[in-house]
Chains A and B, each alone.
Chain A
Amino acid sequence: MKKIVVFILFLIGVVAGVIFVQAMINQSAMVQPIKFNHQLHHKKMGIDCIFCHKYVETESRASIPNIDVCGICHLVLIGNSSEEKKVHEYVKNQKRIPWLSIYHVSDYASFSHRRHVAIGKLSCNLCHGDMGTLTSPPEKQFLKIKMENCINCHEKRHVSTDCNQCHR
C-alpha cells in the first residue's frame, strides 16, 4: 500500500514537472496596450505594411510604429471605437505607446529585415503569418525564432548556411 502511495506521488511529481517545463518553453501570451486591428488598417483601408513598419526595407529592424506614425491619422478622432480613443490619448499627451515586442533575436545572432525583404524578396507572411487578416494583435510568435527554422528555410532556398553569415 505504502509503495503505491509513493509511486502515485512520484507520478504526480513527474506530470507536474512536465507541465511546468512545457509552460516554460511555450511563450506566455502577450497582451498589448492597444488592441490593434491589422485587418482594418491593411485590408479595409489599404495601408501597406511598409507605411507603418517603415524601416523594413532599409534597416535591420522593421520598427514597430509609435505615436509619430499613428499620429499622422489619429491626431483627431476618426471613428468612435474605444481602442482608437486610447491611441488618440497617447498622441495628444505625446506619450509613447508601450508596445510589447514579441519577436526577439538573440544577441549572438544577427538578423536583418533589409536582407530578407528588400534583397531576398521574401514575403512578410512567411515568418509573421497573414497579419492582414488578424483583428487583434498576435500574442505569440507565428514562426518560432529558432535556428532550425532559419536553417530549414536557407536550405530550401539554397542560401548560404555558413555559420558566419549570422553569428559573428
Chain B
Amino acid sequence: MPKYGMVIDLDKCTLCEACVTACKLENNVQIVSKEDAAIGRTMFWMTMLTLEHEGQYPDIKLKRIPRLCFQCDKPSCIKTCPVRATYKREDGIIAQIYPNCIGCRYCMANCPYTVKVFNWDRDKQPQQVEKCYNEDVSVRPKGIVEKCVFCIHRLQKAEERAKAEYRELRDGDYVPACMEVCPAKAIYFGDLDDPHSKVFEAIKDYRRFTLQEDLGTIPKVYYLNAKD
C-alpha cells in the first residue's frame, strides 16, 4: 500500500500563491462574504503561513510558507471525532466524510496546525464561480468541517486511467491541483515508500524539516528549508 506524502521546496517557492488559488477552485471551496471575512471566517484549504519576519517596514522580509493539511501519520484530529467523519485511510490520507460530519468542531480544536476550516455560512457565490464548480467534489453545506484531502478525487481518476491502460499506478499519475499548477515546480508529491519516486529523492535532502516536530504527529508534508 502506498503512503502518499508531499515535499515543498521553499528555495524554489516564489510565494506566487498559484497553489492557493488552484486549491480553492479545484475543491469548490467557498468564497465567504466580506462580513464573515472581517471576523476571521475565511476559508482556505491551502494558505500562506507567515513564520517570521525580519527588518522594519518598508524593508521588511517575510518568511512565508504554503500550508495545507499535513496528513499526519499519527493524527490527533481523528481521535476526537464522535461520528468517524474523519479517519485515516490505508494509504495514509486523512479523509473527511462531509455527510457524516455533525459540526462539533472537536477535530478543529485538536488539530495543532489549525488547518481545518468550518463552514459558518453558505453565501451566494459569484456567478462565474458557480459555473465552474468541479463536479468530482461536492459543494459542502454550512455547519460542517472541511480540509485538504490531497485531491482524493484525482487518485480515483488516476487509478481508473491506469486500470483502463492495464498497468499499475505510476509515479506522477496522481498529482494534487496545487502541485500541477506550481510554476516553479517547488512541490513534489508521491509515494513516500517508493524508492523510484521523486518525492523519495527529495525527502533525503538535509534541509528537510516539518512543523512542530516535537508533537509527535509525524506530518507527511515536508518542507525543504531555503538556503540563505
Contact = CB atoms under 8 A, between A and B. Distances in A.
Interface of A: 60, 107-110, 115, 118-119, 162-165, 167-168
A163 B95 contact: yes
Contact of B149 (A60, A119, A162, A164): A164
A109 B135 CA distance: 11
Looking at B89, B138, B152, B163, the one whose CB has the most chain A CB atoms below 10 A away is: B138
Contacts of A162: 89, 95
Interface in B48-102: 87, 89, 93, 95-100
B102 to A, nearest CB: 14
A110 B97 contact: no
Given A115-B160, A119-B160, A163 B138 contact: no
A164 B98 contact: no
A60 B138 contact: no
Given A108-B98, A115-B160, A119-B163, A164 B89 contact: yes
B152 A110 contact: no
Interface string B117-138: 0000000000000000001111
Interface of chain A, helix or strand or loop or mixed? loop
Given A108-B99, A163-B95, A163-B97, A168 B160 contact: no
B135 to A, nearest CB: 6
B226 to A, nearest CB: 34
Interface of B: 87, 89, 93, 95-100, 135-139, 141, 149, 152-153, 156, 160, 163-164
Contacts of B152: 164, 168
A105 to B, nearest CB: 11
Nearest to A107: B138
A119 B164 contact: yes
11 contacts: A107-B138, A107-B139, A108-B141, A110-B137, A110-B138, A118-B164, A163-B100, A164-B89, A165-B156, A167-B100, A168-B95
Looking at B99, B100, B136, the one whose CB has the most chain A CB atoms below 10 A away is: B99
Given A60-B135, A108-B138, A164 B160 contact: no
Given A162-B89, A163-B100, A168 B153 contact: yes
Contacts of A168: 95-98, 136-138, 149, 152-153
Given A108-B99, A119-B160, A167 B138 contact: yes
A168 B89 CA distance: 13
B23 to A, nearest CB: 14
Contacts of A107: 138-139
Contacts of B138: 107-110, 167-168
A155 B178 CA distance: 34
